[in-house]
Chain A
Amino acid sequence: GENVEQHPSTLSVQEGDSAVIKCTYSDSASNYFPWYKQELGKRPQLIIDIRSNVGEKKDQRIAVTLNKTAKHFSLHITETQPEDSAVYFCAASTSSASKIIFGSGTRLSIRP
């Protein structure tokens, strides 16, 4: 069935370094891949998304890359800051009905 796998589950990086979170998806018909950031006790909020006709998208310190052949997509955060500490979720659209499937999340911690 439809599945999104996300790695790693936890990630700790030094402030100023880069962080990379990777996801794979199973549905070859997936064409929309959003990323959400969830701070402790808060709702998930969209930080960046990419559609299948684009290989890379960047927004300031955040970038997402997509490899449709390999069914991989990744989130890259450069020059990490303390406020980047949160749980990040990847997601992929599905061919069946109008829904998206979420990965299991990555808890990112930024060390001062």
Chain B
Amino acid sequence: NAGVTQTPKFQVLKTGQSMTLQCAQDMNHEYMSWYRQDPGMGLRLIHYSVGAGITDQGEVPNGYNVSRSTTEDFPLRLLSAAPSQTSVYFCASSLQGMNSGNTIYFGEGSWLTVV
């Protein structure tokens, strides 16, 4: 049981490049989400999914796409990287809804720098 696994841990991109942050969980959780963490701003929700085939936007979705083709995987795509997307990204999962009282499990984080 590996929990929530994120890759890569560190990445440097040039402005305009695209890339995908991978997230996988082996706990059979229905709910998965992506957050970005910037200094002094806490964790802001980018996109989330309540189950395979279902995704929705969070607080800061612009510039990012997601898909949920399987229960296990929830990749985050940066379409055309911008310096404003330099941040630490966390994937998270929960057995049921994020507001249900089930523990939210976070991945280890992905440090992304856009130059």
Contacts and interface: CB of A to CB of B under 8 A. Distances in A.
Given A9-B40, A44-B43, A105-B40, A100 B99 contact: yes
B99 A46 contact: no
Contacts of B50: 97-98
Interface in A88-103: 89, 93-94, 97-103
A45 to B, nearest CB: 7
Contacts of B25: none
B33 A104 contact: no
Interface stretch (B16-24, B62-70, B75-83, B100-108): B100-108
Contact of A104 (B42, B59, B103): B42
Main secondary structure of the interface of B (DSSP, over half): loop
A46 B106 CA distance: 10
Given A43-B90, A102-B42, A93 B106 contact: no
A52 to B, nearest CB: 10
B41 interface: yes
Contacts of B41: 104
Interface in A43-67: 43-46, 49, 51
Measured as residues with beta carbon below 8 angstroms from the partner, the interface class of chain A is 20 to 34
Given A9-B40, A43-B108, A104-B40, A97 B48 contact: yes
A89 B43 CA distance: 9
Nearest to B101: A32
Interface string B14-53: 0000000000000000010101000011111100101000
A101 B50 CA distance: 16
Given A44-B90, A99-B45, 19 more contacts: A30-B99, A31-B99, A32-B101, A34-B104, A42-B109, A44-B106, A46-B104, A93-B98, A98-B48, A98-B96, A98-B99, A99-B33, A99-B99, A100-B99, A101-B45, A102-B42, A102-B44, A104-B40, A105-B42
